[in-house]
Structure 1
Amino acid sequence: MKCMYCQGEMERGTAPFHIDRKSYHLMLDTIPAWVCAQCGEVYFDEAEADTIQQIIRAVDEKTEKMSVSV
C-alpha cells in the first residue's frame, strides 16, 4: 500500500488518536493502523475507524448528560 501524500510504503503498526471535542479531550494511545515509513501519515482500517466513532458517540452521550443548563 502506498501513502496518498508522499507515495511512501505503508507498514502495519500502531498510532495514537486524539480529539478535542465539546467538553472533553479523548486520547487513545495505540490503535492498530497503517503508518507511512517515509512521512508518518496514519490510516486506520474501517474496523478501527468504526470503533473510534462508537467511542466518541458514547462519550458524547455521557458528557451530554453531565451538562448543566444555565
Structure 2
Amino acid sequence: MKHEKCEYCDGVVEQAVRRVPFRYKKETIYVDNVPVRVCRRCGEIYYEAEVYKKLEKIAANRTQIKSKVTFPLADYRMADTQ
C-alpha cells in the first residue's frame, strides 16, 4: 500500500477527523468533526474539495452558529516579566 506524502515535508499523510480553524472573510471559525488528511510529521492539513466547499458554506452562514467557545489567551512576552 502506497502512502500519500506531504508536499511540504515528505511525511506520511493519513485520514483523520479533527477540529479545524477555518478563515473566511477576515474571520476565523472553528469547526468540529471535519474529515481531513493530515501529515504525521508536520501537521499540515489537506481538505478534499467537497469538504472545503462545505466549510465555506458553514462559514458563510456563521450567524447561525449556536456554540461559542472561550479560552485563556496568553501573550508570549509574558514569560519575560515573570
Same fold (TM > 0.5) = yes
Does 1 or 2 have the higher relative contact order (CA < 8 Å, sep 6+)? Answer: 1
Unaligned runs of 5+ in 2: 65-82
Does 1:8 pair with 2:3?
A: no
Q: Name which one, 1 or 2, has greater alpha-carbon Rg.
A: 2
> Helix, strand or coil for the counterpart of 1:40?
coil
Distance 1:8 1:17 in 2: 20
More helix per residue: 1
**TM-score computed with the length of structure 2 as normaliser:** 0.60
For residues 22 and 47 of structure 2, the distance between their equivalents in structure 1, rounded to whole angstroms, comes to 15
Between the aligned partners of 1:19 and 1:49, the Cα distance in structure 2 is 9
1:44 corresponds to 2:47: yes
RMSD: 1.9
Contact in 2 for aligned 1:16/1:27 (Cα 8 Å): yes
The number of residue pairs the alignment matches comes to 58
Are the equivalent residues in 1 in contact too, given 2:22–2:55 (CA < 8 A)?
no
Q: Give the Å deviation of 1:15.
A: 2.2
| 2:26 maps to 1:27 | no
The runs of 4+ residues in structure 1 deviating greater than 3 Å are none
Q: SS in structure 1 opposite 2:51?
A: helix
Q: Report the CA distance between 1:50 and its aligned residue.
A: 0.4
